[in-house]
Structure 1
Amino acid sequence: MKKIFLLLTALTSFYLFSCSKSNKEEMISTISKESFGKLPDGQEADLYTLTNAKGMTVNITNYGGIITKLTAPDKNGEFADVVLGFDSLAPYLTGHPFFGALVGRYGNRIAKGKFKLNDKEYKLAINNGPNALHGGIKGFDKVIWKATEINQDSVVGLQLEYVSKDMEEGYPGTLTVKVVYTLDNDNALTINYTATTDKPTVVNLTNHSYFNLTGLKRDILDHEISIESDSIVPVDTTLIPTGKLRAVEGTPFDFRKPTKISAGINKVEDEQIKNGGGYDHCWVLKRSEPGLVLFATAKDPESGRKLEAFTTEPAVQFYTGNFLDGTLKGKNATYVKRFGFCLETEHYPDSPNQPQFPSTVLNPGDTYNTTTKYRFSAK
């Protein structure tokens, strides 16, 4: 009997050791690469899949630094894609509203496509009504970036590099840009941006992911959002800042407490809602200290998915897909109006023409350096 007991004990120990070893082997973050297709000029685009130890995945292509897919668990532990985009390269080449893309050299709008820097006027492409938007005709979202895989400890990532030539899209200075995406085991995707220049220029980099925490099942109007902000940057009918800030208290822009997007988005009697066609405005973030701070939280009540957003930037453009019209079909979904929301961390729009705003000027010898983190959970 004793021998049988010892044998069973040994077998049990071996089984537990094997399971433990197997679990450890499974709990490894990985990164893989595959072809994503060719551009019309013959350049190859690659697709990288980052997977953490909990099973969360992020797909990024070196074409435009685009996040094409990001999965997050719901309250039952079921993973689903929570960003708008496409399964193949072709739709990204034929025109899309910056789904998941790296935006630069200047994210958001510059009035009438021109600005002065050191008494010299620079003219940009007019590509959004009377204004310049998101870097021009061929911004950073439409170029191939040099990619380097990162796989160390409990973090996997992708480093992307691009050199924007002097006067590319009208911007002065050769700008050397590095963007690093990292995925950790806390289900957080961190984006770090750095840039240097050989001539004075303006820089405002961001990521333009459209989130939908339902798992792309329906629109985002029932999402509850909170934003750590007491004021917005009001805009005119062409979405260019008026130059003054506006307090959110008593307006549809007050998200200091969790509020459904639907609560104020259609209140067109408010001039700013009318101008933006909903929410397409810059919120000035409350900040008691420098560094990475929590600035927004979004939650889908039905799935329980929650997104917490952190940044070192002074502001965020909260956009609710007002211009989506159902003509674009993506990953098992048709992208109708308000099917996704963006939290584009940034400096204020049109800062090069608004000296009272925080400066976006980058000079030789200085380094542009910002970080934004999106952390996912469920309850």
Structure 2
Amino acid sequence: MKITHDNFGEMNSHPVTRYTVTNDHHVRMSVLNYGGIWQEFSVLTPQGRLNLLLSADSVENYQKSGYCVCQLIGPVANRIGHAQFQIDGHNYQLQANEGNNTNHSGDRGWQNHFWHVDTQINENSGQIILSNHYRPKDDGMPGVTNVQVVYTLDNQNQVTIDFYGHTDAATLFNPTNHSYWNLADRDARTVEAQELMINSEQHLAVDDGKIPTGQLVNNQDSAYDFKHGRLLGDALHEMLKTREKGFDDFFVVEPSTSMDHQPIAVLRDPESGREMKMFSDRNALVVYTANGMPDSVQLNRPGRSWVAIALEAQTLPDSVHHPEFGDIILRSLEPVHHQIRYEITY
């Protein structure tokens, strides 16, 4: 187990550093101090090293991609309707960066900040520890919030992302990592030949701005039915009749962070046998298939629709307007901890 770091360019005249943990099986995990970007999860194959994440080789290309590629999203992932919310009778207005709504916390979201970084090696794991101190002028949210995000790679080839938050005044806290996965070899142009299972029986109905209406829709016998696993290509071709021509949808999942319970999702590439199991302690999985990604983006796989699949674990979107979806209010003296875990076999 070892940890190294190297230069990854500049952003806003500040150096960007890449931190890399390599475990005893030569599996590598890299994270950037800018945007908390998860830049690499790579394994050795007979054809050489393969990054199973969609990634770029410079911070500029991440910014140009426009698809939140593997960024650390917070303090609130996904959308907040009408860019406003209320806590304890107080109204708060956010930046409307997607029509009348806020998406991924707007321009002041965590993905647009530099992070303080520490590293730690244990006997069977290595950690990249990101921390930051956010005031209302920094992230647009009420309260002064201290955040720590810990990326851990262990010798079982598992990656765990732990999110810790505490605040001096009530605010919102519903972060995720916008990781895009493609488990196939480099010549696979899309994820159509891969299989996906989601431990879900319902997804959220949304309006034209992708804001949940509050209605739950049954997945069974539809393109959204991944309960028992199915080929992504079959589901995606059904989705061609939708406006998005792919998935940009919010699945209600059964939370699970224990090996004794079913993962919220499993992605598998039948040809290579590679598999990723995903665990989360929250009740939503946002699935996005890079719909309409142009070929002009400079990533490790040529840009196109369905080149990779984003699997974003969080509490159900817009829960500030739908209390039945879950509580994402972070309160003074009530620190919060969330966890996402990825178990990869290859």
- How high is the TM-score relative to the length of structure 2? 0.94
Quick one: structure 1 residues 268 and 324, their matched pair in 2 at CA, closer, same or farther if it must change by over 3 Å?
same
Paired residue secondary structure (2:267)? strand
> Aligned partners of 1:119 and 1:321: how far apart in 2?
38
Residue 348 of structure 1: which of 310, 316, 321 is its match? 316
Partner of 1:251: 222
Question: Residue 214 of structure 1 is aligned with which of 184, 191, 203?
Answer: 184
Shift of 1:243: 0.4
Residue 311 of structure 1: how far off its partner (Å): 1.2
- Paired with 1:168 and 1:277, the residues of 2 have a C-alpha distance of 36
Q: Contact 2:257/2:341 (CA < 8 Å) preserved in 1?
A: no
The residue aligned with 2:72 is 102
Equivalent position to 2:31, from 57, 60, 65: 60
Deviation at 1:93, TM superposition (A): 3.8
Q: Matched residues in 1 for 2:172 and 2:183: separation?
A: 34
Q: Does 1:365 align with 2:337?
A: no
Cα shift at 1:145 = 0.4
How do residues 59-208 of structure 1 correspond to structure 2 at under 5 angstroms?
59-73=30-44, 79-94=49-64, 96-208=66-178
Distance 2:222 2:92 in 1: 37
Q: CA deviation at 1:255?
A: 0.4
Whether 2:271 is the aligned partner of 1:299: answer no
Shift of 1:215: 3.7
Mapped to 1, the partners of 2:231 and 2:245 lie a distance apart of 17
- Cα distance in 1 for residues equivalent to 2:306 and 2:42: 20
Question: Does the CA-based 8 Å contact 2:258-2:279 persist in structure 1?
Answer: no
Residue 337 of structure 2 aligns with an amino acid whose one-letter code is N
Work out whether residues 237 and 276 of structure 1, in 8 Å CA contact, stay in contact via their aligned partners in 2. Answer: no
State the Cα distance separating 1:72 from its structure 2 match.
2.8
Task: Name whichever of 260-269 and 111-120 sits farther off.
Answer: 260-269
How many residues end up aligned between the 2 structures? 343
How far apart, CA to CA, are the structure 2 residues paired with 1:215 and 1:96? 24
Q: Which residue of 1 aligns with 2:211?
A: 240
Q: How far did residue 372 of structure 1 move?
A: 0.7
Shift in Å at residue 223 of structure 1? 0.9
Task: Tell me how far 1:90 sits from its aligned partner.
Answer: 2.0
For the pair shown, the structure with the greater C-alpha radius of gyration is 1
| Cα displacement (A) at 1:88 | 1.5
Runs (4 or more) in structure 1 with deviation over 3 Å come to 76-79, 289-293
TM-fit CA distance, 1:160: 0.2
* Separation in structure 1 between the aligned mates of residue 242 and residue 226 of structure 2, nearest angstrom: 18
| 2:4 maps to 1:32 | yes
Structure 2, unpaired ranges of 5+: none
SS at 2:86 equivalent: strand
- Per-residue CA shift, 1:337-377, capped at 9, x if unaligned? 11010110001111111122211111101111111111111
SS state at 2:215 partner: coil
Question: Which residue, out of 226, 234, 245, partners 1:263?
Answer: 234
1:138 and 1:92 map into 2 onto residues whose CA distance is 17
Shift of 1:84: 1.1
Deviation at 1:170, TM superposition (A): 2.8
After TM superposition, give the deviation of residue 169 of structure 1 in Å: 4.0
Per-residue CA deviations over 1:247-279 (Å, capped at 9, x if unaligned) read: 11121111011201111223258xxx7254321
The answer as to whether partners of 2:257 and 2:340 remain within 8 angstroms in 1 is no
Q: Which of the residues 296, 304, 311 maps onto 2:280?
A: 311
CA 1:263 to 1:155, structure 2 compared with 1: closer, same or farther past 3 Å? same
SS at match of 2:130: strand
Give the unaligned 5+ runs of structure 1.
Answer: 1-28
Aligned AA (2:194): H
Classify 1:110/1:250 alpha carbon distance in 2 versus 1 (closer, same or farther; 3 Å). same
Whether the 8 Å CA contact 1:73–1:305 is kept in 2: the answer is no
Which residue does 1:15 correspond to in 2? none
Give 3-state SS (helix, strand or coil) of 2:295's partner: coil
- For residues 14-38 of structure 1, give each alpha carbon's deviation from its aligned partner in whole angstroms, at most 9, with x where no partner exists: xxxxxxxxxxxxxxx1110112222
SS of the residue corresponding to residue 166 of structure 2 reads strand
Spell out, residue by residue over 1:48-104, the C-alpha distance to the aligned partner (whole angstroms, 9 max, x if none). Answer: 111010011111111011011211355x69541111121112223445311111001
Aligned partners of 2:103, 2:293: CA distance in 1, in Å?
Answer: 17
* Equivalent pair of 1:122/1:170 in contact (CA under 8 Å): no
Q: 1:118 to 1:291 in 2, by over 3 A?
A: farther
8 Å contact from structure 2 (residues 120, 127) kept in 1: yes
Whichever structure has more strand as a proportion of its residues is 2
SS of the residue corresponding to residue 243 of structure 1 reads strand
1:328 to 287, 297, 308: 297
What root-mean-square deviation, in Å, do the aligned CA atoms of Structure 1 and Structure 2 show?
A: 1.9
- Structure 2: how far apart are the matches of 1:251 and 1:203? 32
Asked if 1:43 corresponds to 2:14, the answer is yes
**Any idea what SS the aligned residue of 1:267 has?**
helix
**In structure 2, what is the Cα distance between the partners aligned to 1:35 and 1:154?**
26
Contact 2:110/2:139 (8 A) holds in 1: no
